[in-house]
Amino acid sequence: MASGLDPSSFNSHNETGPRSCHGGLELTNVSSYGPACGVEKNWPALLILVVIALTVMGNILVILAVSLEKKLQNATNYFLMSLAVADMLLGILVMPVSMVTILYGYSWPLPAVLCPIWIYLDVLFSTASIMHLCAISLDRYIAIRSPLHHSRFNSHTKARVKIMAVWTISIGISMPIPVLGLRDHSKVFKDGSCFLTDDSFVLVGSFVAFFVPLTIMVVTYFLTIHALQTEATMCLDQLVPRPKWSTTFTPSFLPQASTISSEKLFRRSISRETRSNSVSGSLFGRRSMQTISNEQKASKVLGIVFFLFVIMWCPFFITNVLVVVCDSEICEPNLMAGLLNVFVWVGYLSSAVNPLVYTLFNKTYRAAFLRYVRCGTSRRRSRCNKILSVSHSRVKRAFFSLDLNIVRVEACLTSS
């Protein structure tokens, strides 16, 4: 589109027009905040495509697994599926644009109107990720502390309502960005680069969108672990009852035979007491122990997800706050900007790591992922085609039976 244009004629319409170069000619439809002419491309940035591909493909597998596997269809996994949607959209809408800005030396090469929208999507999906993890931790703690109340009000519909609430909160936190940025470009542009320049919003947003939910997530997670350990101890006490008497007393005037018979009677009474307690509580106890064991395994996997998210996003948000509160003489601006550019991609990487965690530590996810990947290969393609052909034949039979019914109705009408 740029070829054949006269640079002088373009500048006559827009004196402060774009300065991006493409074979010596200026580009139209490019922001006036775009990169200067002759910017050297950072081609190694294209290696980021690997991270983007892993993020998108991995989270698509998570969405498919929760949607198709009945074993995974519970409240926690619905939250994880919604989290995967946020991470997938981050990989589709945010990461590629960030890669392009790196390619152009952190200058904004796109139309200016897209800058606040891109920042909005970035903040939205990143906030949604931490809010989902916070909601998962809080929901699991409530389920452990009040299981009857939680099970009564924890249908699939309720889980969807909670997920909608998480997205609504995330949208509300990030919505001021496009409102401010579209009205005043100086709020999102500085020296040709696209980023938030409003210090108050950066400071408040960092605490509301990250540090507050992070605190809730960590506290409720450790409370959940403590509650599970307490319940496990109580269940073990129910499964292994303690005898009321630990020793027997045999008077000296009783004969030896009486001593032996009294010991036998005591052992029989203890065994009967144990059996009676086991009959009344073994089934409940075993079910409770199995439930607690499953909860503990799930907590370990979620703990890994929480831990990775924290260590990958904390450096960015801590640096983000230091940029605002730290004096420029102490915190050198160029150094802080460089750290932010690195730490933001460390945070993005957490979106690609979650599916790997599920694969390594959850057998159901791992089996589902393997089936979906194999189904896409040439070896399994014929099997998938058979499945599709069977579904197609069922649809054809359904339509054929419908046609027969219509013909019969018409025949009845004509005969009458």
Contacts 24+ apart (CB under 8 A), 245-248: none
Q: Is residue 409 located within the same domain as residue 360?
A: no
Do the domain assignments include residue 47? yes
Q: Is residue 325 located within the same domain as residue 415?
A: no
pLDDT at 150 > cutoff 90: no
Instruction: Kindly compute the dihedral angle of the four CA atoms of residues 132, 134, 139, 144, in this order, to the nearest 10 degrees.
Output: 140
Position 1 confidence tier, pLDDT thresholds 50, 70, 90: very low
- Of 40-54, 246-260, 277-291, 384-398, the least confident: 246-260
20: left (phi over 0), alpha (psi -120 to 50) or beta: beta
329: phi then psi, degrees, rounded to nearest 5: -70, -30
- Of 76-85, 131-140, 367-376, the least confident: 367-376
Do the domain assignments include residue 16? yes
Q: Is residue 194 located within the same domain as residue 258?
A: yes
Report, as an integer, the average pLDDT of 404-409.
50
- Residues paired with 26 in a beta bridge: 21
Do the domain assignments include residue 36? no
Q: Is residue 143 located within the same domain as residue 280?
A: yes
Compute the distance between CA of residue 349 and CA of residue 91 in angstroms, rounded to an integer: 10
pLDDT at 263 > cutoff 50: no
Q: Are 58 and 43 in contact (CB under 8 A)?
A: no
Predicted TM-score of the model (pTM): 0.71
pLDDT at 248 > cutoff 80: no
pLDDT at 405 > cutoff 50: yes
Pick 68 or 154 by higher pLDDT.
Answer: 68
Q: Is residue 365 located within the same domain as residue 398?
A: no
Which residues are within 8 A (CB) of 70 and not within 5 positions of it... i.e. 6 or more apart?
none
- Tell me, what amino acid is at 210? F
Q: What is the pLDDT of residues 20-48, one digit of tens each?
A: 343 333 333 344 455 545 556 777 778 88
Pick 24 or 130 by higher pLDDT.
Answer: 130
Pick 262 or 358 by higher pLDDT.
Answer: 358
Compute the distance between CA of residue 161 and CA of residue 155 in angstroms, rounded to an integer: 10
Q: Is residue 285 located within the same domain as residue 157?
A: yes
- Of 38-52, 76-90, 212-226, the least confident: 38-52
Burial class of 289 by CB neighbour count within 10 A (0 to 12, 13 to 18, 19+) = middle
pLDDT at 60 > cutoff 50: yes
Compute the distance between CA of residue 98 and CA of residue 66 in angstroms, rounded to an integer: 29
Work out the mean pLDDT of the chain and round it to a whole number: 75
Contacts 24+ apart (CB under 8 A), 254-263: none
Do the domain assignments include residue 35? no
Compute the distance between CA of residue 99 and CA of residue 47 in angstroms, rounded to an integer: 9
Closest of 30, 4, 2, 6 to residue 16, by C-alpha: 30
Q: What is the pLDDT of residues 343-368, one digit of tens each?
A: 999 999 999 998 999 888 888 899 99
pLDDT score of 15: 35
Do the domain assignments include residue 214? yes
pLDDT score of 412: 53
pLDDT score of 128: 96
pLDDT at 69 > cutoff 50: yes
pLDDT score of 28: 35
pLDDT score of 239: 60
Q: 3-state SS of the chain: helix, strand, coil percent to 5?
A: 80, 0, 20
Do the domain assignments include residue 172? yes
Most confident of 15-24, 239-248, 251-260: 239-248
pLDDT at 85 > cutoff 90: yes
Report, as an integer, the average pLDDT of 404-412.
51
Measured in whole angstroms, how far is the alpha carbon of residue 369 from the centre of its chain? 16
Position 413 confidence tier, pLDDT thresholds 50, 70, 90: very low
Do the domain assignments include residue 380? no
pLDDT score of 297: 72
End-to-end CA distance of the chain: 70
Residue 87 C-beta-side C-alpha neighbours within 13 Å: 34
Q: Is residue 22 located within the same domain as residue 46?
A: no
Position 342 confidence tier, pLDDT thresholds 50, 70, 90: very high
pLDDT score of 148: 55
Position 154 confidence tier, pLDDT thresholds 50, 70, 90: low
Q: What percent of the chain has pLDDT over 70?
A: 63
Q: Is residue 344 located within the same domain as residue 399?
A: no
Compute the distance between CA of residue 95 and CA of residue 89 in angstroms, rounded to an integer: 9
Total structural domains in the chain? 3
Do the domain assignments include residue 78? yes
Q: Are 39 and 105 in contact (CB under 8 A)?
A: yes
Q: Is residue 10 located within the same domain as residue 82?
A: no
Q: Which domain holds residue 154?
A: 42-245+254-375
> Which DSSP category does 74 fall into?
S
Q: Is residue 142 located within the same domain as residue 281?
A: yes
Kind and range of the H or E element at 376? none
pLDDT score of 224: 86
pLDDT score of 206: 93
Which residues are within 8 A (CB) of 380 and not within 5 positions of it... i.e. 6 or more apart?
374
Most confident of 12-16, 310-314, 411-415: 310-314
> Which DSSP category does 330 fall into?
T
Q: Is residue 110 located within the same domain as residue 212?
A: yes
Compute the distance between CA of residue 340 and CA of residue 321 in angstroms, rounded to an integer: 11
Q: Is residue 285 located within the same domain as residue 211?
A: yes
